[in-house]
Structure 1
Amino acid sequence: MRFLSVSLDSFLIEFHDLLETTHFFRHLQRNNHSAIVDMIPAEKTILIQFSVFKTTQKQLISWLSQQHIQHEHTVQGTEVIIAANYEGEDLAQVAELLGVTTQEVIKRHTQHVWKVAFIGFAPGFGYLNCEQRPFGSIPRLSTPRKRIVAGAVALAGEYTGVYPKDSPGGWQLIGHTAETMWDIHRDPPALLLPGNSIVFKEAKHVAQVSVPDHIIKHDAEAHKPLPIARGILKILNAGMQTLVQDRGRIGKFAMGVGVGGALDVGAMQAANQCVGNALNDAVLEILNGGFKAQVQSPTVIAITGAISTCVIEYADGTVAEVSCGQAIALDAGDTIEIKRPQAGLRNYLAIRGGVLAEKILASYSFDTLAELGPKPLSTGDEVAVGQSPKQAVSTDSKPPKCLPQSKDTVVLDIVLGPRADWFEAESLETLLNQLWKVSNDINRVGLRLQGEVALKRTQHQELSSEGTVTGALQIPPSGQPVLFMNDHPLTGGYPVIATVAHYHLDLVAQIPAGCLIKFNKVSEFMDMNV
């Protein structure tokens, strides 16, 4: 086994092949160490996330290296038949790469049985492999597409897969299916599970699959949100993006579900503390101001995060500016407006009692990549209050943190790895010494960075998809980093050169476009063979 650094609380274990990875992962599931928080299995790696309060990285690696694994017989999974048309925009390109006709590509894809090796990238995205390797290894696109539609059938490396949701991606598209890969109203939500056998059938008009017995389709009526009493706030302007967020979905990696949750956890918790809520109660996350809401009944709110002008127009017509970071008592008819931030990017609005919404997989958060949770708020929506146990309202104001403005330089600590050794030594120096500009292409999935000198690899082979964490600096072939945020895909096929330290992630959430980033190494690259 090979152990590779990822961040201060996670690392990769690398194995020789998928079989060895699978056996070790199953062993860890049965004999889980109390300090292991979660795991992401992939083709040749397992990402281990652990609690630094329960063990050290050195102690946990020592325990892992002493595990003795007994190989098991492969269990035959349920067969799923998927009807697909083969009119993908990369079909001709794949045929040209292989030196065959497009019809031969279709034949190879439909006349082999595929197995679900593992779930990753996004909820319901199964990595399907075949022992015969009918396509060899198909390279990913040099630049990932920003949007691939749900149901797209694709190839990358030795795998095929079906995109469960509209999402970015770098796989080669050869077809499309009408079947839903991920449905939160099914049990389990993922149609494809590890070990399942998958057979693709060509169809000019795509139809639904032969649904296996283990899938239970629930009555959609039973999953409608419960009736909610009249809202506390009525949205007059939702701005660029207003989402319900809490701490996220902890411990769901095995389902292909990331943590998500509030990007600036500290600001979320500070807002809740001001109004007497539990620290991780649901709040509103407001992107770049432009938010306005009217109060429907007396309440107490608090606004934290970005440095913004907040204006209250009281029901009697008087207007006042209020400070962020303090409890604000409001009556019916009052309106609250949050202007565009002078510094930072996201505000957090807490309501005493917590925001009430439909809970999905134990969280109220909306994951923009997986499309899980309550949908983004729109003008006219009402926000209801929850019944969270309440403490006394805080009378202390919380001074705003020093947050970046456009064109400021922000210093972020990083841990090198797990694929730092895939890059030229000069590129590692470039990563640390060059200023990286934050492009306009930023969202909850990640920030695209731009540098005058691109990072260059020494190893150019395809990387088997492997687990990633929030803060990862993934390097596509362009050599320009993508800094992953909370809604990032769980696995990726481009090498990660380093990861931002967890204590700087709140700061990353507040970096606007146009800022410059300087990376500061706080830990050497760990590469340990046992």
Structure 2
Amino acid sequence: MVILPFGERAVLVEVADLREVLSLHRRLESSRPEGVLDLVPAARTVLVRVDPAVLSLSAARSWIEGEDAAPLSPSGDRSRTVEIPIVYDGADLDAAASALGMSVTALVERHAQANWTVAFTGFAPGFGYLVSEEWPYDVPRLESPRTRVPAGAVGLAGEFTGAYPRETPGGWQLIGSTTAVLFDPAASRPALLQPGDRVRFAPARPSASGTAATGAAENPAPPKQEPAARPERPAAEIVEPGPLTTVQDQGRPGHLAAGIAISGAADRGALRTANRLVGNDEGAAGLEITLGGLRLTARRDLWVAVTGAWGPLSVDGRAVPGRSAVRVPAGAEFAVSAFTAGVRGYLAIRGGIDAPALLGSAATDVLSGLGPARLLAGDVVRIGDRVAGPVPPEDLHPWTAPADVIEVPVAPGPRADWFTEHARAVLFDAVWTVSSDADRVGIRLDGPELARRVGGEVPSEAMLPGALQVPPLGRPVVLGPDGPVTGGYPVIGVVADVGRDLLAQARPGTRIRMRHARPHPR
């Protein structure tokens, strides 16, 4: 076992193979101490993400090292068994059987009789990678991936089988279909399959639609918790949303193992400040406005504040200050013009935005589609009850535009040793430029090529916002709040929390210097 650094708040535990991953993950899960936010298994690793205010990384390392040799007690195995109905009617069933040198009947029997285990999740929320000791085959992926794989399709790839929770592109060989609800964002347990779950495929009759007609979980998920009815309190109507305006808060940590990204505001500090300016709880939801251009009409008297990116603000055409609480009377129009500096502005309304929550967060995840839809003209924004105190009598100073060159602190990444010594020096010596390929999923940087000393891809492993992935072309990509939960490119470093907020305001063309992050005080 090797424990590798993964920024300020996580470590990556590497073991020999997937069997050891499953064993280590079960042991860690059974003795999980307070302060561990996520345990994310992957092909050869387990990511351990902590809250350093509760559990230091050094304490987490000691716990991991102790559990590496500890046997798993019978009471420590919390796995459950899920039965998934399947109709073996996939478009690639014949081709997969031929590639394995067996008949279709033999493939179906081996697949249905095998006892499967969810090794890890990724690719999409609720997509489980299933393995079995009774399935010793390596199935090649399609040479040309499909642009559309329907929800419920069951496929094979490498040593894995899995079912697609929603329609998505994919390169797995499709052997069947299921009607099982694999991911339901409204359920108390959104992902049907969690790492460590046991899975059995139960052949079923085709329904009228051609998919499996029956099947159930042996230990079903808890029933949905219907939220109590709350009175609607319309705050404003969107007149013009600008290029992209979404509801964001501080995100939904703690669900990476189910394939659910942390998401939340790209510049979390700016949203917290906006909430403080109007007397809200810092965790209240606000609007993330990309590049400006938002106009709304107040439905009631409002207190609002805008932080983050710079740009003119007005109430019925009258200029008002940014980073300060502003009164907007009922019927008045509040406008956020195009930003002159920075990328994302944060609009807080006293009371917070009232939007449907998933796993305790109203954040919009643009990659997975979770959370409220992007705002459109005519949408009504509702006010919540997240008031924490009075509107402060003074605004917060200073407020300055981003510098011409942003300095971004970077902590060690788990795969830094995959790069040459020169490349590791260049990461901090070069001036990088934000490319035009930049959004909430990730920011591609232009600059010198970072040469590798170890070739190939990393077996799929967990990712976090701020990870500096380096694809084959050698230019780093900084993962954003909606970035993928797993990935196969090596991570040379991890942007520290304060640096992530700075990068949220970096426009294409912005120059960036990396600097070594100071060790966390704990």
Q: Same fold (TM over 0.5)?
A: yes
Residue 491 of structure 1 deviates from its aligned partner by 2.0
Instruction: Tell me if structure 2 keeps the 8 A contact 1:140–1:157.
Output: no
1:212 paired with 2:216, answer yes
Residue 440 of structure 1 deviates from its aligned partner by 2.4
1:6 paired with 2:6, answer yes
Residue correspondence of structure 1 range 488-503 to structure 2 within 5 A: 488-503=483-498
Instruction: Tell me if structure 2 keeps the 8 A contact 1:84–1:178.
Output: no
Partner of 2:432: 436
- Which amino acid is the alignment partner of residue 296 of structure 1? R
The more displaced of 435-444 and 302-311 is: 435-444
CA distance in 2, matches of 1:287, 1:149: 32
CA distance in 2, matches of 1:266, 1:386: 20
Residue 4 of structure 1 deviates from its aligned partner by 0.2
Instruction: Tell me if structure 2 keeps the 8 A contact 1:252–1:259.
Output: yes
Partner of 1:326: 324
1:305 paired with 2:308, answer yes
Residue 516 of structure 1 deviates from its aligned partner by 3.0
CA distance in 2, matches of 1:337, 1:232: 15
CA distance in 2, matches of 1:14, 1:232: 50
CA distance in 2, matches of 1:422, 1:402: 39
Partner of 2:371: 373
What 5-or-longer segments of structure 1 have no aligned partner?
Answer: 314-318, 525-530
CA distance in 2, matches of 1:18, 1:76: 19
Instruction: Tell me if structure 2 keeps the 8 A contact 1:304–1:400.
Output: no
Residue 178 of structure 1 deviates from its aligned partner by 6.7
Residue correspondence of structure 1 range 146-157 to structure 2 within 5 A: 150-151=151-152, 157=158
Instruction: Tell me if structure 2 keeps the 8 A contact 1:157–1:464.
Output: no
- Which amino acid is the alignment partner of residue 197 of structure 1? V
Residue 139 of structure 1 deviates from its aligned partner by 7.6
Partner of 1:15: 15
Residue 146 of structure 1 deviates from its aligned partner by 9.9
1:479 paired with 2:474, answer yes
The more displaced of 255-264 and 330-339 is: 255-264
Residue 102 of structure 1 deviates from its aligned partner by 11
**Alpha-carbon spacing, 1:141–1:366, altered in 2? closer, same or farther (3 Å):** farther
Partner of 1:419: 415
Partner of 1:188: 189
Residue 212 of structure 1 deviates from its aligned partner by 1.5
Instruction: Tell me if structure 2 keeps the 8 A contact 1:86–1:106.
Output: no
Residue 71 of structure 1 deviates from its aligned partner by 4.1
The more displaced of 209-218 and 43-52 is: 209-218
Helix, strand or coil for the counterpart of 1:242?
A: strand
Helix, strand or coil for the counterpart of 2:314?
A: strand
Bigger relative CO (Cα 8 Å, ≥ 6 apart): 1
Residue 412 of structure 1 deviates from its aligned partner by 1.6
Helix, strand or coil for the counterpart of 1:7?
A: coil
Helix, strand or coil for the counterpart of 2:27?
A: helix
**Alpha-carbon spacing, 1:284–1:187, altered in 2? closer, same or farther (3 Å):** closer
Residue correspondence of structure 1 range 320-469 to structure 2 within 5 A: 320-399=318-397, 401-404=399-402, 408-453=404-449, 455-460=451-456, 462-469=457-464
CA distance in 1, matches of 2:383, 2:354: 5
1:80 paired with 2:84, answer yes
Helix, strand or coil for the counterpart of 2:266?
A: coil
- Which amino acid is the alignment partner of residue 126 of structure 1? G
The more displaced of 438-447 and 270-279 is: 438-447
1:382-405 C-alpha deviation (Å, 9 max, x unpaired): 111112234111122234644448
Instruction: Tell me if structure 2 keeps the 8 A contact 1:404–1:515.
Output: no
- Which amino acid is the alignment partner of residue 236 of structure 2? L
- Which amino acid is the alignment partner of residue 339 of structure 2? P
CA distance in 2, matches of 1:154, 1:482: 30
1:238 paired with 2:241, answer yes
Q: Name the % identity.
A: 33
Instruction: Tell me if structure 1 keeps the 8 A contact 2:2–2:15.
Output: yes
Residue 153 of structure 1 deviates from its aligned partner by 5.3
Partner of 1:295: 298
Instruction: Tell me if structure 2 keeps the 8 A contact 1:310–1:324.
Output: yes
Helix, strand or coil for the counterpart of 1:119?
A: strand
CA distance in 1, matches of 2:428, 2:356: 43
CA distance in 2, matches of 1:256, 1:146: 21
CA distance in 2, matches of 1:261, 1:52: 20
Compute the RMSD of aligned alpha carbons: 3.6
- Which amino acid is the alignment partner of residue 321 of structure 2? S
Helix, strand or coil for the counterpart of 2:272?
A: helix
- Which amino acid is the alignment partner of residue 35 of structure 2? A
**Alpha-carbon spacing, 1:82–1:224, altered in 2? closer, same or farther (3 Å):** farther
CA distance in 2, matches of 1:215, 1:430: 52
Residue 250 of structure 1 deviates from its aligned partner by 2.9
CA distance in 2, matches of 1:428, 1:105: 51
CA distance in 1, matches of 2:365, 2:62: 35
CA distance in 2, matches of 1:59, 1:77: 33
**Alpha-carbon spacing, 1:148–1:505, altered in 2? closer, same or farther (3 Å):** farther
Instruction: Tell me if structure 1 keeps the 8 A contact 2:467–2:479.
Output: yes
1:57 paired with 2:61, answer no
Instruction: Tell me if structure 1 keeps the 8 A contact 2:110–2:135.
Output: no
**Alpha-carbon spacing, 1:138–1:190, altered in 2? closer, same or farther (3 Å):** same
Partner of 1:274: 277
**Alpha-carbon spacing, 1:246–1:424, altered in 2? closer, same or farther (3 Å):** same
**Alpha-carbon spacing, 1:21–1:310, altered in 2? closer, same or farther (3 Å):** same
Partner of 2:126: 124
Partner of 1:229: 232
Residue 305 of structure 1 deviates from its aligned partner by 0.8
The more displaced of 447-456 and 303-312 is: 447-456
1:249 to 248, 252, 267: 252
Partner of 1:172: 171
CA distance in 2, matches of 1:109, 1:427: 49
**Alpha-carbon spacing, 1:186–1:396, altered in 2? closer, same or farther (3 Å):** closer
Instruction: Tell me if structure 2 keeps the 8 A contact 1:444–1:488.
Output: yes
1:428-463 C-alpha deviation (Å, 9 max, x unpaired): 334333443323222222122333535435132x53
Partner of 2:516: 521
Residue 206 of structure 1 deviates from its aligned partner by 5.0
Residue 150 of structure 1 deviates from its aligned partner by 4.9
1:74-126 C-alpha deviation (Å, 9 max, x unpaired): 867233133465447xx99x98xx99499989975884234322233442010
The more displaced of 180-189 and 293-302 is: 180-189
**Alpha-carbon spacing, 1:217–1:41, altered in 2? closer, same or farther (3 Å):** closer
1:343-362 C-alpha deviation (Å, 9 max, x unpaired): 11111111111111122211
- Which amino acid is the alignment partner of residue 239 of structure 2? L
- Which amino acid is the alignment partner of residue 61 of structure 2? I
Partner of 2:465: 470
